[in-house]
Amino acid sequence: MNNSRSDFPILDQKVNGEQLVYLDNAATTQKPTSVLNSLVHYYEHDNANVHRGVHTLAERATEEFEAARDKVAAFINAKSRQSVIYTRSTTESLNWIASSFGNSVVNEGDEIVISELEHHSNVVPWQQVAKCQHATLKYIGLTADGELDMADAEKQITDKTKIVSIAHASNVMGVINPIKALTKLAHQHGAYMIADGAQSTPHLKVDVQDLGVDFYAFSGHKMLAPTGIGILYGTPEVLDQMEPAQFGGEMINEVHEQAADWKASPWKYEAGTPNISGAIALGSAIDYLNKLGMDNIQAYEQEIVDYTLPKLLQIDGITVYGPHDPAKHTGVLSFNLKGLHPHDVATGLDMDGIAVRAGHHCAQPLMEYLSCEATCRASFYFYNTKEEADRLLAGLNEVKEFFANGIGKAERTL
């Protein structure tokens, strides 16, 4: 996997005089040259709107745009390309499900079940549905080591439950949730199952048919593609029930003065000019990931976590959130150093050229559950190395030294 680093020009730079160590991949991943080239090629050679023109550029753009849809469908093993809808992001996908589908199937007295692990984009839309429909929003708790508590899930999901919406992998705790088992439990009670795949799709092989979910959402920018392109997968049965969240050009079949009807899925959900270049670049990103192999990516990232997590736990005064067993972790490691604010730790690491995230990670209910305001988060991808993990560990010790003794890189270089 280390051979791939040369494909990412952004990694070959210095920050604050040090070689960049980019460990904020849960927020967004970097882009290989092949993906960047696909964007340039579209705008230099094929820039035209899709589906609407009969001239050569429009036909080429449409062909590439729809070919990318086929790549997405194959990547997640969707049964049909008609189940793959382009959106802007995971957030938009989840909002569309909530506002359109959720408000149509949830009624007064019904229940919606999410978990304490969720990103705000899988919390706030369901708060709004519950408020609008006079329904109850319930949370599945966590075990002592930060995993989803399946015993509690069996209590929370009842015959009153209409929607269960859970992250496939946590962006804070670094755990992979048992979506297949949750789907089975939800369906046993007649509920629909939604999975937030933002943190899983870039890191492991996803098979939506095997998972059995009704909806699956993910973002391109967390898997090498540009920002502003996302995917909403839905089974044909639920997409037939769901109404469009937006209206306008492209998604209509016919419009008259007092009425309109829609095209078939997926086009009825894609109003207006889409992110054509983003979709094409997402297809290029999938080509890149397929070339590496998702099983290989997952195995390599596991090696990095196996190497890093035990050493991280040995640092005096550190609290690591989530399981301490590397086998139960994705490449996301969240932690705090005793007595230090996460922003101070992240700033200190940045002085050494190490990019990590500090904050509540758009998961404030989880922060409240953990009784902390924020954490630091180092998140790895396949282009990271054990040497970079060592830089992180050394940097954390240097930050501790700086705040304990007032001696650190900044003062030593004066």
Which residues are catalytically annotated? 362
Closest CA to 185 of 213, 209, 206: 213
DSSP states of 145-164: TS-B-HHHHHHH--TTEEEE
Largest Cα separation within the chain, whole Å, is 75
387's CB contacts (< 8 A; 6+ apart) are none
- Do 23 and 388 form a contact (C-beta atoms < 8 A)? yes
110 contacts: CB under 8 Å, gap ≥ 6:
133, 135, 136, 160, 161, 162
Contacts of 82 (CB under 8 A, 6+ apart): 236, 239, 264, 265, 266
| Whole-angstrom distance, CA of residue 130 vs CA of residue 340 | 38
Instruction: Map tokens 């899925």 to a residue.
Output: 265
What single letter denotes the amino acid at residue 372? C
**19 DSSP β-pair partners:** 14
